[in-house]
Structure 1
Amino acid sequence: MARLPASANFLAPIIAETLLDRLTMVTREFHRALLIGAHDPALADHLRGSGTELTIVEAGLRLAAASGAIAVEADAIDLPFASFDLIVWPGGLDSVNDVPGALVRLRALLAPDGLLLGTFVGDGSLPKLRRAVMTDGVRPVARLHPQIDLAAMGNLLQRVGFTLPVVDVEALTVRYGDWFALARDLRAVGLSSRLAPAPPPLTREESARIALAFTAQADPDGRIAESFRLIHFSGWAPHPDQPQPARRGSGSASLAEALKPKT
């Protein structure tokens, strides 16, 4: 990612725009923000422009050097607890070694009533590529990034202590001429496998088989429509003044009665 031009990461501006839209709907002001990954300048520019004191962290040394960030993995950020009232994570949650541990750490970094807001590429993405890499004649090893589903993310936010969690999904379709163009995009956005040790490289025969299986799923015009599922999430650090859910069983209206057809 660091060796490629910023424009190669086509997902970064899409995610940044969505997160900015959601951030502008929050009425409170944020004075201390942590940005995990500055792959698109829009988020950092917006936060600095609003007078927020901004800290940036990057997982890679080259990426950190390019943006003046702290080089550290998100599940190993060593900063004082309750240092921030906003944490924005525009992609990458699913790439850390310890996902629950990363969320626990971010929860500790947030001051009371602080907001965690982020996006990642979730479960159900790249279905046609997944079918292609399982074609006959290709060794069955991990080639793609692990993915987190919608329900698991909601459960994780609650388990680690976030309140008012919200998780939703946005479907994005991108059409490709061949498998090699998709592979270039995946490397540019950091979605190729980061497992250690790295899987053995594909042979020429395996690459040809995958390319053929991927092309076989093309639309009539010859292009292949691949799907990315962007999972957006948010959660708040607890605070006594936050809205509280009603006690279970305290409702006075019957849903069954409300849904009965009127005569």
Structure 2
Amino acid sequence: MSDPAQVFDRALVRRRRDRAAATVQRVEPILGEAADRLLDRLDDTTHRFTRALDLGGRGVVAPRLAARGIPFVVSADLSARMASGAGGLPVAADEEWLPFSEGSFDLVVACLSLHWVNDLPGALVQIRRALARDGLFLAALPGLPTLHELRGALAEAELDLRGGLSPRVSPFPDLRDGAGLLQRAGFALPVADAEAIDLRYRSPFALLADLRAAGEGNAVLARDGRIPPRALFPMAAARLGADAPATLRLLMLTGWGPASTQSKPARPGSATARLADALGTVEHRAGDKAGSRP
């Protein structure tokens, strides 16, 4: 029986990244925009980082970290070929089995790489262990409703042709899960927010070509292994239209390695001033009607 916890074919993900190492530069503008938005968060801290891990950055993260003056950058990727061209010290490594010792880095950046991991909570625990005390973790993951246009068009076309569905677009996490995953993995001060990049393609086939160039083909274990009907992609393309839209919603995760020097939230009930006084209003008890005396 197959393991229900295994959603993705990791060997296939590796092979596709191997092939994409020669083509990924075609989608550099999109990957670079995602990296810039993620790394903008470094401007919000006065920390100075010296040892960074670029996890799956595909050639856009490591150069940007070096440009910020970080002297030591390791680029780790499931694909050795992709790692060798990523811009940092190359290491072939599986995100589910990181080979780094505890506290190796004071900054870890995972930009559009963790969405093919089967055990995301476990991978986050390993990243937190590789992070030094008071080190920073930044991640961008595609989240719902990323590629919902393509997903819907393929589903409608396959229903018409076969009368059933098979997964053809990777499942993506939801924003509500972000901060909880970080907290569960032991990160301090976890924050999750989202940003959207709205793309338009000259044709639906240009969108599919970009996905292949980036190594983002379907690697879901439950995918239909049969050759798709010849009419599937033309029918889906017709539904998307000539000016094919593609939504990329980025889930931005920020967490810190726990340290005793970090600020802690106040205990409930420990406030020494009333919010009503600060706002210049009148405080009412729960259940009081508007206009009643306190």
TM range (shorter): 0.7 to 0.9
Output the CA distance in 1 between the equivalents of 2:190 and 2:216. 25
Give identity over the alignment, percent.
33
1:26 aligns with 2:45: yes
Q: Is the 8 A contact 1:9 1:188 kept in 2?
A: no
Q: In the alignment, which residue of structure 2 is the partner of 1:65?
A: 84
Output the CA distance in 2 between the equivalents of 1:51 and 1:107. 20
Output the CA distance in 1 between the equivalents of 2:52 and 2:36. 18
Q: In the alignment, which residue of structure 2 is the partner of 1:48?
A: 66
Q: In the alignment, which residue of structure 2 is the partner of 1:158?
A: 183
1:36 aligns with 2:61: no
Aligned Cα root-mean-square deviation (Å): 2.5
1:103 aligns with 2:124: yes
Deviation at 1:159, TM superposition (A): 0.8
Q: In the alignment, which residue of structure 2 is the partner of 1:224?
A: 244
Output the CA distance in 2 between the equivalents of 1:254 and 1:51. 43
Aligned partner of 2:105: which letter? F
1:185 aligns with 2:210: yes
User: Does the C-alpha gap of structure 1 residues 156 and 259 become closer, same or farther in structure 2, counting only changes over 3 Å?
Assistant: farther
**1:76 aligned counterpart, secondary structure:** coil
- The alignment of Structure 1 onto Structure 2 pairs a total of residues equal to 255
**1:79 aligned counterpart, secondary structure:** coil
Q: In the alignment, which residue of structure 2 is the partner of 1:208?
A: 234
Question: Per-residue CA shift, 1:227-248, capped at 9, x if unaligned?
Answer: 1101111100111110111112
Output the CA distance in 2 between the equivalents of 1:133 and 1:19. 30
Output the CA distance in 1 between the equivalents of 2:36 and 2:70. 19
**1:74 aligned counterpart, secondary structure:** coil
For residue 239 of structure 1, the aligned residue among 250, 259, 272 is 259
Q: In the alignment, which residue of structure 1 is the partner of 2:144?
A: 123
Q: Is the 8 A contact 2:142 2:251 kept in 1?
A: yes
Relative to the length of structure 1, the TM-score reads 0.87
Output the CA distance in 2 between the equivalents of 1:85 and 1:92. 19
Q: In the alignment, which residue of structure 2 is the partner of 1:170?
A: 195
Question: Per-residue CA shift, 1:111-137, capped at 9, x if unaligned?
Answer: 111110121211111121121111122
Q: In the alignment, which residue of structure 2 is the partner of 1:17?
A: 36
Q: In the alignment, which residue of structure 1 is the partner of 2:10?
A: none
1:74 aligns with 2:95: yes
Aligned partner of 1:36: which letter? L
Give the structure with higher Rg (CA): 2
Runs of 4+ in 1 over 6 A off after TM superposition: 258-262
Output the CA distance in 1 between the equivalents of 2:144 and 2:235. 24
Q: Is the 8 A contact 1:164 1:236 kept in 2?
A: yes
**1:80 aligned counterpart, secondary structure:** coil
